[in-house]
Amino acid sequence: MKKIVFFLFCLGYVVALLQCYRIENSDDEIFPPEAWDYSKVAFIARVSLSNNSAPWFLFTVDNTGNNVRQIAGITTTCSKPVCSRSGEKLLFSTLTDDYKYKLYVTDTDGSELILIDSADVYCGNADWSPDDKYIVYVKCSDPYWNNSDLILYNISDKTHTVLQNDGKASSPKFSPNGKQIAYCKSNEVYKMDINGNNNQLVISNASCPNWSPQGDKIVYLSSGADMSSQIFVADADGSGQKQLTSSVSPGWWDSGFPRDGNEDPQWTPDGKKIVYVSWENTKPEIFIMNVDGSNKIRLTTAEFRDENPQVTPEGHSILYSSRRSDMINGGICIMALDGSNQKALVKEGIYPVACK
């Protein structure tokens, strides 16, 4: 599953679609980042480790590494589950035997499984609103990917509303106050109100937007030297754009373009640091840096690869996937924010997510 580059080329055009409905979200309502104690880690893993084409399933493990448990009982796509802001529910996608994508939500103990939507080509790439009242996700039924819709799902009344429907959309993210959604389209980052109004271009030549916990900045990916994926940051209105990383892998994998660079930026809860994956030593490893790009520190020394970092909700630790000689198919590890106390929680699995 080598990722040549994480920089997404989102093709298509963008037009805002005005919606004739009302969403309860007072201007005075604020949902600041909340530190909570996680008791479990969700991840995906193959049941048959000897078969690289075996299906993926959703699992949880206690934060101590005990009590590994398969939940939900259906296969998943090879993608990261998405935990609700309360830590109590998980979103995941599955691909059925008749090649239909379905988006589900389940409790972290697997006790309740709810189908959100399905599509012939794709359904997923989802995010939760900060109050856990809405889900935004990508849906596509066009076999040529000429259209992919952004859908807003109201959890209480189970309604679906199309926010954007005339081009390729990806990577939707709710702002921390729940009032806006940033997303990628046509290799550009846009943002809009959560009812689809006030759609506006924010950053050109950009993808994979991720709001800071305070909502004042957006970290994103854009191209650097040799078309490599690099990490940038900007103010939430698109001003003050700054490139934070520039290193590239010394390895040439084909003709040399594009080259692996830096990817998967994740904010610490205080908004002061960014954890990310770098290929500057040929293999993917996990680094941390200040929000201005200074003081870059390598946290892992990969035997094969260390990636998929997630900072735990209280901000003290980093969950990540690791592939080593004793975890040849990948495993789930944890370390302190400074890279100390590295240990394996599970010796099979990828895409760890903290949950309750």
Q: What are 248-267's pLDDT values in tens digits?
A: 998 765 545 577 999 999 99
Amino acid at 181: I
Q: Do residues 196 and 181 make contact, with C-beta atoms less than 8 angstroms apart?
A: no
pLDDT, greater one: 197 or 36 = 197
Amino acid at 47: V
The pLDDT value given to residue 335:
98
Amino acid at 52: N
Q: Which of 176, 139, 165, 133 shows the shortest CA–CA distance to 18?
A: 165
- In the structure, what pLDDT confidence band is assigned to residue 167 with cuts at 50, 70 and 90? confident
The pLDDT value given to residue 99:
84
Q: Is the pLDDT of residue 328 over 60?
A: yes
The pLDDT value given to residue 172:
97
With helix as H, strand as E and coil as C, how does the chain read? CCCCCCCCCCCECCCCCCCCCCCCCCCCCCCCCCCCCCCEEEEEEECCCCCCCCCEEEEEEECCCCCCEEEEEEEECCCCCEECCCCCEEEEEEECCCCCEEEEEEECCCCCEEEEEEECCEEEEEEECCCCCEEEEEEECCCCCCCCEEEEEECCCCEEEEEECCECEEEEEECCCCCEEEEEECCEEEEEECCCCCCEEEEECCEEEEECCCCCEEEEEEECHHHCEEEEEEECCCCCCEECCCCCCCCCCCCCCCCCCEEEEEECCCCCEEEEEEEEECEEEEEEEECCCCCCEECCCCCCEEEEEEECCCCCEEEEEEEECCEEEEEEEEEECCCCCCEEEECCCEEEEEEC
Residues 6+ apart with CB under 8 A from 69: 59, 60, 61, 110
Q: How many CB atoms lie within 10 A of CB 45?
A: 24
Q: Is the pLDDT of residue 130 over 60?
A: yes
The pLDDT value given to residue 151:
97
**With pLDDT > 90 as the criterion, what percentage of the chain qualifies?**
75
Average pLDDT, the chain: 88
What would the pLDDT profile of 331-351 be if each residue is shown by its tens digit?
A: 999 999 999 999 999 999 999
The pLDDT value given to residue 345:
97
pLDDT, greater one: 8 or 200 = 200
- In the structure, what pLDDT confidence band is assigned to residue 166 with cuts at 50, 70 and 90? confident
- In the structure, what pLDDT confidence band is assigned to residue 49 with cuts at 50, 70 and 90? low
- In the structure, what pLDDT confidence band is assigned to residue 325 with cuts at 50, 70 and 90? very high
- In the structure, what pLDDT confidence band is assigned to residue 31 with cuts at 50, 70 and 90? low
Q: What's the predicted TM-score (pTM) here?
A: 0.88
Residues 75-85 have a mean pLDDT of 96
Q: Is the pLDDT of residue 17 over 60?
A: no
Q: Is the pLDDT of residue 28 over 60?
A: no
Residues 101-117 have a mean pLDDT of 95
The pLDDT value given to residue 32:
53
The structure tokens listed for 243 are 């490139």
The pLDDT value given to residue 227:
87
- In the structure, what pLDDT confidence band is assigned to residue 226 with cuts at 50, 70 and 90? confident
pLDDT, greater one: 99 or 307 = 307
- Distance, in Å, from the CA atom of 280 to the CA atom of 262, rounded to the nearest integer, reads 8
